[in-house]
Every structure is written in structure tokens, then in C-alpha cells.
A = this chain, B = another copy of it.
Amino acid sequence: MSKATGRPDVKIEEAKDKVIGAIAETMDLYGVTPAAANLYATMYFEDQMTLDEMRTELGMSKPSMSTSVRRLQEIDMVKKTYTRGSRKHTYAAEKNFFRSFMAFYCQMWEREVKINLAAIKEAQEDFIEVIKDSHSTPEIVAKAKKYYDQLEESKTYYHWLDDLVENIRSGRIFEFLPKEQKD
């Protein structure tokens, strides 16, 4: 098939599209819709964009762009920017992937830790009640103890994950694993 030789501007667009496609494709596990993934990837190559520009560039409806940009803001992948003298809201993509990584994974893991540790706490209290209950047969007690211990082990993981979040947010992980590596 024909290549865009002789048209540098077209080649630039093609190059951008390659990266846009890759970013959009690998964002499928970030809990965003294809529209939002495409929007983010498109914004990655722009300084800032308005809803109308998003709509035009992606060929999608304004409400869809509105919802998508809102979602991306929620996960700190897009920021609202201030444009003096215009009514239109403008948004800019977070291009520092380290910050995106930190924001996204820390939020996600923090949620996971919080929800699971809370459930574990309640469950362990229940198991302790069962263990102390005089109606409990030896089998029941053994079972409760087994589950209790199993949850104790998983607590180790959740505490570790919590530490990981803390070390990411504090930047200490970059002492352990510098951004620039000599390989």
C-alpha cells in the first residue's frame, strides 16, 4: 500500500497515531471506556484541549467527551487548565507517566487494602466469637481457627501493599529503583 512519503505532515500524524493506538490499547485495564482511553491518548500529544476540540478530533459526541474527560480527571490522568478570556473549559493530559502510575495504582491499591482489611477485621471477630462459643463443636472450632489463620496471612499482604503505596507516594521507591538506570 502507498506510504505517505513526501508528506512530512502526514507522516507526523501517522507516527502519532501509532502511539495513540498503543496507549489506548493498553489502557483497557485502567477502568476507562474506549472513548476515554482514546481521548487520553489523543490529549497526550496536545498542550490542552476543549470539549469541542475533543469532539472534532475524535468524531464523537460532546456528552461522551464530557463524561470521558470527567472520568480521566477522577483518576488524575487529565487536569483542568485555566484559559483567560474564554468560556470554554480546557483540559490537559498528565504526561508524566510516573505521576499517572502513582496516582492510579495508589488509589486502586488503597481501595483494595481498605475494603479487604475491613472485611477481614469483621470476619476475624466473628471467627473469634465462634471459637469462644460453647455451642461450637471441635470441628467448628478447628475450621474457624483455620480461616482465622488464613486471614492473618492475607493481612501480611495487605499491610505490605499499604507499605508499597506509602513508599510510592513518598518517592522512596525511586531510591530503590531510580528512574534512570545504567544498563
- List residues of A whose CB falls within 8 A of some B CB: 6-9, 11-12, 14-16, 18-19, 21-23, 25-26, 28-31, 45, 95, 97-98, 101, 108, 111-112, 115-116, 118-120, 122-124, 126-127, 129-130, 133, 135-137, 140, 143-144, 147, 150-151, 153-154, 156-161, 163-164, 167, 173, 176-177, 179-181
Contacts and interface: CB of A to CB of B under 8 A. Distances in A.
Given A14-B126, A15-B126, A19-B123, A135 B181 contact: no
Find the residue from A18, A108, A140, A164 having the highest chain B CB count within 10 A.
A18
28 contacts: A8-B130, A8-B137, A9-B140, A12-B127, A12-B144, A12-B147, A14-B126, A16-B147, A19-B119, A19-B151, A22-B115, A22-B116, A22-B118, A26-B112, A26-B116, A29-B29, A45-B147, A45-B150, A97-B157, A98-B160, A101-B157, A101-B161, A157-B179, A160-B179, A163-B177, A164-B177, A176-B176, A176-B177
Most B CB contacts (10 A, CB to CB) among A45, A108, A119 go to: A119
B26 A126 contact: no
B21 A119 contact: yes
A11 B126 CA distance: 7
A178 to B, nearest CB: 8
B8 A133 contact: yes
Given A19-B151, A98-B157, A98-B160, 5 more contacts: A7-B135, A8-B137, A15-B123, A16-B147, A22-B115
Contacts of A15: 122-124, 126-127, 130, 147
Contact of A119 (B22, B31, B115, B160): B22
